Structure 1
Amino acid sequence: MKEQEQMDKPLRDLIEIIHFTERVSTKIHGLLDEAEICRVVKEESARSGQYTMSIVLLTDDKSKLKVAEVSLPLQKLKTAEKITGLQLKGFTIDLEKSSFYSQVVEEGKTVQIRFVDIISELFPKPVAHLISKVLGYTEKSSILTPLKRHGEIIGAFSMTSTELADHFIPSVKSLAQHISTALELADEYAERKKMEEALKKSEEKYKSIFENTIDIYYRADLEGNIILVSPSGAELFGYESVEEVIGKNFAKDFYYHPEDREILLRELTKHGSVTNYEVTLKRKDGTPLVGETNSRFVYDQTGKSVGVEGMFRDITKRKKAEKNMQLLSAAIESSHNSIIITDMAGTIIYANKTAEEMAGIPAEIMAGRDIRPLFPDSKRVESMIQEVLEKGYFHKEFKYTDEDGREVWIFNTSALVTDEEGHPLGIVGVTRDITESKKAEEALRESEEKFRGIAERSFDGIYEMDLEGHITYASPAIERITGYKPDELQGDLFQNFAPESALIKGFQALARVVEGEAIKGLQVEMIRKDGTAALVEINISPILKEGKVVGAQGIVRDITERTQAEEMLRQSEEKYKSLVENINVGVYRGVPGGGGQFTDVNQAFVKMLGYDKKEEILNLKVADIYCNSEDREKIREKILGQGFLKNEEITLKRKDGTSIIVSDTGKATYDTDGTILYFDGVLEDITGRKRTEEELERYRHHLEDLVKKRTNALTRTNEQLQQEIADRKLAEESLAAEKERLSVTLRSIGDGVITTDTEGTVVLINKVAERLTGYTQEEAVGLPLHSVFHIISERTRSLCENPVDKVLREGAVVGLGNNTMLIARDGTERIIADSGAPIRDRDSKIIGVILVFRDITEKRKTEQELLRAQKLESLGTLAGGIAHDFNNILTAVLSNTTLAKMYAEDTKVAEKLSKIEKASLQAKELTQQLLTFSRGGAPIKTTTSIAELIRDTASFALRGSNVRCHFYLPEELWHVDIDEGQISQVVNNLIINADQAMPEGGIIKAKAENVNVEEDVLPLDRGNYVKISITDQGVGIPEKYLEKIFDPYFTTKQKGSGLGLSTCYSIVKQHDGYITAESEVGVGTTFYMYLPASQKKREKKVEVGEVIKGEGKVLLMDDEVFVRDAAGETLQYLGYTVVTARDGKEAIDLYQRALDKEPFDVVIMDLTIPGGMGGKEAVSKLIEIDPHVKAIVASGYSTDPIMAEYREHGFKGVVTKPYTIEDLSKTLHGVLKG
């Protein structure tokens, strides 16, 4: 029975594949879209569950096959894509690499082969076997057969199954034939649709031309009845629609002179057609219309004329313009000005009669001659022409001496003549003889000069005005009195400068002057230009002409100077006093003698030195505020020696003992005997600036070192290039004999090389250049360089200049600009560094160009990674300082709040204190983020299970969210040495980001796996790592933002700080790990994190219990008084006796003195004391005194290396600020009992 079944199985399999073939053929029958055909074949194959198929189609250049469709199950497809790192749909197969596909496509064969053998040609064998194993295709075979369209092979169809045998080939070929037929029909359908669309567009185009033409198209029968007319015809002749025009008779309804139509018909009969035939027609309202027509007879199929058709153009405006031109020509000819028109080269086109007379040459002789020799000063004419070409016009008067020696003045106005589009056509110049006018002006000028000289030298203002009050002249002194320049007053009314109170007095005075009376000593107020009022004294006299008053002239004198000076002095004193009190620099006045004494200081001076009241400063000696006597003596000597100070830098002492650096500038005031009465000065706090200058100076030295190194490198490069050029010149002498050797060399070097001729045509391309551009030697030779070497700017995406053009232009070695990107034939983009040089023959003639370039894409990525690390390091310094100070404050807040909560009896007060405590702990988390940036910091590491941390952190972060997290955390995961708090913060950030990316809900996948990094594919040392991935199904990150997400302060969220991911980056880097991300918009984002695996055993966790009270004597050292007070009270609450110290020196002294009496049981020391001895130095000295000392280090710098390795520095315990009472009690208990 089993034997029978085994015999029947091939038959059943054959029948099954035949049914499958018929089913697929039926489904695709009638489909007219290539993509739809491929989709149906794929779906039917997937539905069968037995067969896997693929359709691959030839690319345009027929050198590759592109996967159009493949019917793998989705999960297997994704697995295969993950292994290969490629998307299978759209994947290209190089025919040169696949012998099986080459047989099918190039030879038309149908082949049967194992699936694993096919992909072994496309991928490395280990990868190919892995893909086969994952897909379950290790034992499956494939049948490959051609796909054709119109008899030409266009690709291949493959079917894969475990059951395929040779006798199945006809069925597979049959299915391929059906697919080919369907593709042919789809192609024909697409072509037909394209033709129909083109025909439709053509009809629309000509219809649009007919309906929108400006000229009029018409057709009429032989009797003149209109059969067809364009819409422009109805509009031009005043009709409301085309329908109103159809049927009307040309002779009766349109010809202004009906007999003109008979003349037109005779011309048509004689010549068959007419061109530019002028005719006068009439509009609907009877007004005439002059036009031109191109007309011809229309014939039927027998050759008999059946009508007339043509185009008509309205030339009414042109005819009118021609008439106007005739009038203009007559006016130009009769003008008394010389008018000459030239072309753009200066050749005379036209000259009027006046020009003939001025030049003494007939117009017909001047025409065609150069204008320059007609004038005595040809250079001036040339400059005039150039100015017209540059500006479009020329206006200037100048003089010359004529043949009789007479001085002649002329005024010339020239302008550029352009067409309707603004293109220059020529120059028109108009010249007028102004000799007599200039003589009259000179006589008038001499007369006025005498009067003006007196007026302009007068201290008082002199003015003239007409009878309406318009000012016609004002002397320069008027500006001093009124603030207005004389030309600003010209034509203005005097009342515009007088207040209302003075108007009546002014009008009365003007009325008296009109009657011929002179007025003296009139005092009135006037308004200056700046709006201020002035008191002036005016003398006014009438101006007489032929005995009639025609205006007034007068003298005005400012008599408010003294009053104004007094007022200004008062305002100045008030302004100075206000300025001194409110300026943000210190101002002081001091007197000499007895160490110096301040007599007055401003509020900024008081604040600068840290005092509260001015009286505190005034009670000090000047010498008291100096940090050192040398500065005091230097300033004293300069004041006594030169009487002033300018930007003297000194160090002063503030009230709290701290110092500041100031810049002192001032001047001494002397009595008549030369004795210093007092010294006024200004102090500017430059402490911050000095620190900045020091930083800038260090950075300048750093840059100078970089420049020197770069200069040396460039010098070496230049020498190498010079040597290469010299060697190339020697090599050119034997170019013909060495050509083959040069070709071999170019193809062997590691850089891409392309050589061209002087026309920019590719002559040679080496193997590296073939790989980078995508063109082979055979394809590239003969092509223009820009077709093969397509380069753009990385930043602007604009095309770069052709390097061949640049080399030929400069004739030397050139380098392309930075950020040059090469786009390969397949669209791959690479950043390149390149240079070009001319190729010369033995006569040094350039015969071609050589380009040398290399791919620096990976180098650029490394540089960007380094830049990102430098950004974080720079910001870390600032963040660490801020967080340390903030942690000190939080220590006091948290300790006092906890104590207050314990003492509080009112429940509402206790509730409020709990909220403060909670907020303080949240602030602690924020400072922890800032401290992560701290330069040189090290995590406090313990050996732990990363799986447990991921699970706990993610679950906590997603409480109350509609997003769920699926965990893929194998039990065999390696342990890691990490700071649990910091890595938990990283996972928390990534989970929250994923949650926010899916506001409608979704699934987050949290995975971890053991990996071994061997190759330099990641910026990591080789070794074992735990790889963690967090994947969401959210909106995704656009590609343009992806490389910036780890930059500090970069965020796309409205309320984001931009610290989250940059903090993650810093934490992972400090753990010697690596973090990166990949994303697709609309699909989701995955973050990958690599952490070094640990060989240590996991440490047991110690649970934090309740407050542990104790007893003993504690020495507490901290520089902040509020920390000492808060921590001291907390220690007392815990049962300890407390003694405090401000710095390490004081702590050592107290410890040593207590050693023989009541020694301290434990010492708590702040790690960092600004300006004093900190915990690190102090503990080493305490160990010298007492080797058994029990010291605990405390610091707001939680990432300081000492905090992580405190035992190596002599400490027995560690507590991080801000600490809770539980943290402090637990640490104390552990140290005292340990």
Structure 2
Amino acid sequence: MMKMKIMTKAQRMADLEYMKKKVPALEKNPGEEDFAGSFSGEEKYRRLLENLSDMVFLLRIPEGDYEYISPSVVEVFGYSASDFYRNPFFMKDIIHPDYFDYCNEKWEELLEGIAGRSYEYKIIDPKGKERWIHQSNKGIFDPEDRLIALVGLCRDITGSRHTETTLKESERKYRRVFEVTGDAVFLVEKKTGSILDANAAATGLYGYTLVEMTKRRLIDLSTEPDRTVLMLRAGDTQIQQQDHKKKDGTIFPVEAKVSYFTQKHRKMAVVTVRDISERKRSEKAIRESEARYRSFFEENVAILLMINPDTGRIVDANPAACHFYGYSREILKLKMIDDINILSREQILRDMERARNRECQHFYFLNRLASGEVRDVEAYIGPTEMAGQHLLYFLVHDITDRKRMEEELVKAQKLESVGILAGGIAHDFNNILAAILGNVSLAKLYLSPDDPAYDKMTQAEKSCLQARELTGRLITFSKGGEPLRKKVAVAPFLKDAVSFFLSGSNVRCEFDFPDFLWPLEIDVGQMQQVVRHLIVNAQEAMPDGGTIRISAENVSLKADEVPSLKEGPYVRICIKDQGVGIPREYQTRVFDPYFTTKPMGGTKGAGLGLAICYSTIKKHEGFLSLVSQPGVETTINIYLPASSDDMKSVKP
């Protein structure tokens, strides 16, 4: 075995001086130099070594014996100095298995006379925990230049290694996120705007290589450099939309987000750029679509409503709907669909569900206007989407006039058919009555007035005359009773006719006529019969008496303003009573021949009065309508065309 050379005091002091230079300088407090000066020689350096936080050792080679171990060994390794003194190769027992071979190689190098300057390894401390050790070495050689001892300094770097590992892991995560994110990301120096790094998405988007990209500034990528500079200088997180340009000159819209951090006293910016070309195109398409929808919705003359099918609330209404229903848009949007539809809420919701499922899209409703008037409508209903909300559109058409015209057409056709039948029967029946009446009159000539059969013949004659009157009414009802027109003044005609028929009655009549009324061309006899029927109906509706109000006015009708009437000048006659009215279920049938709610028998059960009135007015190219409020009143409106001769010089 090679013997260790005995060191002189001068040699030892020289080695300690070297170790002093290797160890980081201690922080000095005021008066520390004076305190150190009170020690001399070995005492001064012993105090220095004992107060170091790093462990200092002197190891003999090749024996592996420690000649000196500083007290800080406990802080660094967790073991006492005696553990090392007692076992020359104690280090082999505490080396982490992962570093056993590595440390063994270092020992073999020491035996070969090679003293490694520094290295790091792991140990297992007394509590079984891992510790990282950084070791710095200085070899001591004999006169033959052989390594005989090792002076070393050991430091516990577990904390710094953990910090370093955490930082490296954080950097790996950052790099992974940096590279895999779909948006372009730049690392930019805030002061100069220079691009320090860029991910693959950025190079792919702009068409530059990473080397080319790092030779540029962020403003080189923007068509708005001033805004880019201001964005970088702002100092707080911002999101801006700008136009950027690619390497090939293509300009495209982006959304840029900037955030900031400081790295080693250097202010940095992370700029995330997203290509929003597709979003811009989508937004433009949406705006154009919304503009088309809004134009279609707002300017459409058809009535349009948007309804929430889950709640039944009116979400929107176009101007045509507001005009039709008589509400402002704000008021309509506060209403539910059952506020304007007279069906039950349950029925409306069922119909909307059918429309939403496309089971049915065509419906007929009765809608109530702001004025209280009820109108017939047809609605085309279907699902739509607006601002991400699933709605139902209601395309509404007012068909009240169309229904009335259809009803008038059906009524006219029905009356025409019945009139043809009635006319044929009336002519045949009239011939039979003429024969009967003639024979009855001849029979009376052969009978004495005192003869009991004479009275019977007289009664038969009266019955024949009544039957002939009925046939006359039937002929009037039929086509055979075409009017023989005569020009008359409206006011005098109505006053005379009404006064005659109300003579001796408990019902009085009030007239309201303007100073001038256009004359009419009418069949006076037929029109007197119309007035008689209407006055009789009014009297029977007021058994306890009352007032009939008759008014007239000149009106100029537009096409389709009144069903079945042509455009032109008319005189409207209104006859209103204060009677019991007509039940709603009967109002559509009052003009049917022989329909009556009166007791059958006598004159009250005839059922031809209103049918004859309707037919007569129709033959005069006019129109007759009835409006009745049960328990309140009944109003008859008659439109008759004004005399064409007088209209040549009169502008209505």
Tell which structure's C-alpha radius of gyration is larger. 2
Task: Bin the TM-score by the shorter chain.
Answer: 0.3 to 0.5
Q: Using structure 1 for the length normalisation, give the TM-score.
A: 0.26
